[in-house]
A = this chain, B = another copy of it.
Amino acid sequence: MDAALDRLLPPADQEPRTLHEAVRYSVFAGGKRFRPALVLASAQACGLDADTVLPVACAVEAVHTYSLIHDDLPSMDNADWRRGRPTCHVRYGEAIAILAGDALHDMAFQWIAAASDRLGPPDRVLRVVLDLAAALGTQGMVGGQVLDLLAERGQLPADWVPEIHRRKTGCLIRACARVGPLLSGREEDLPRLTAYGEHLGLAFQITDDVLDVVGESEKLGKRAGADEASSKATYPKVFGLERSRQMAREEAEAAVAALRPLGPRGELLAELARFVVERER
């Protein structure tokens, strides 16, 4: 993944250098690469070559990084620390951080469109573009971030927590899980991997919230307890810690159950679902 990202990202010695440096600083910050792994596993489950879908895997990591950079900004979560390093705006200033996010958002579509010849029939590539764009829009990621801000300001009731998470994290994870069926044309797998992706997204976010309470700052690379300190809407706050843990496990099991019709093709995806609830960061 890192080698592929390095090839696709503009070189740091090309103008505007500050921008390219900031982009690379945030992309190569030691992320888990969970979303690209999910794209590759979804592709593999549908009989596609991992190398083929690498540009799509890179694209989802690019948009994920864009969302982190913008979420961390002073006017949003005002986070100064992520993955054990100063956040992008702390290191490069706010203007460059906003533009680095914008550039990464854009690169995702550029990479997919540029690789379309190798990705498959163009109508299928366009479905991936549409799926990704919808996942990032006002009914997806950006909308989730707005609801999150409203919740933090006390302008949204606590029972919106699942909806906030569905949009903010869930929609992109769902889109990653759908890449295989969309690109391979295996329509019968689309509802299966859609259901898998939806449960997986919930398992992922609930576990994130739990780790923020019980995790070690060192492993997380950011301050544990940061959610508690803010008035952020989280699962443990609404449902309690034990119930949240239980919910994460149930969602991971539901994700695995949705894979059953795939048989052995779904093994890697099932492993990812187990990783999501067992991870320590």
Contact = CB atoms under 8 A, between A and B. Distances in A.
Interface of A: 10, 15-16, 18-20, 23, 70, 73, 75-76, 93-96, 98-99, 101-103, 105-107, 109-110, 113-114, 116, 121-123, 125-127, 129-130, 133-134, 136-139, 142-143, 145-147, 149-150
Contact of A98 (B76, B113, B116): B76
12 contacts: A16-B150, A20-B138, A75-B94, A75-B95, A98-B98, A102-B142, A106-B133, A109-B133, A110-B133, A113-B133, A114-B130, A121-B122
Tallying the copies of this chain within the complex gives 2
A222 to B, nearest CB: 20
Contacts of A107: 133, 137-138
A146 B95 CA distance: 8
Contacts of A76: 95, 98
Contacts of A106: 105, 133, 136-137, 142
Nearest to A111: B133
A24 to B, nearest CB: 11
A130 B113 contact: yes
Contacts of A123: 116, 122
Contact of A138 (B16, B116, B121): B16
Contact of A19 (B98, B113, B136, B146): B146
Contacts of A15: 143, 147
A45 B155 CA distance: 51
A73 B102 CA distance: 14
Nearest to A139: B10
Nearest to A125: B126
A129 B130 CA distance: 11
Given A99-B145, A114-B130, A121-B122, 6 more contacts: A19-B142, A73-B95, A99-B146, A102-B142, A110-B134, A126-B126
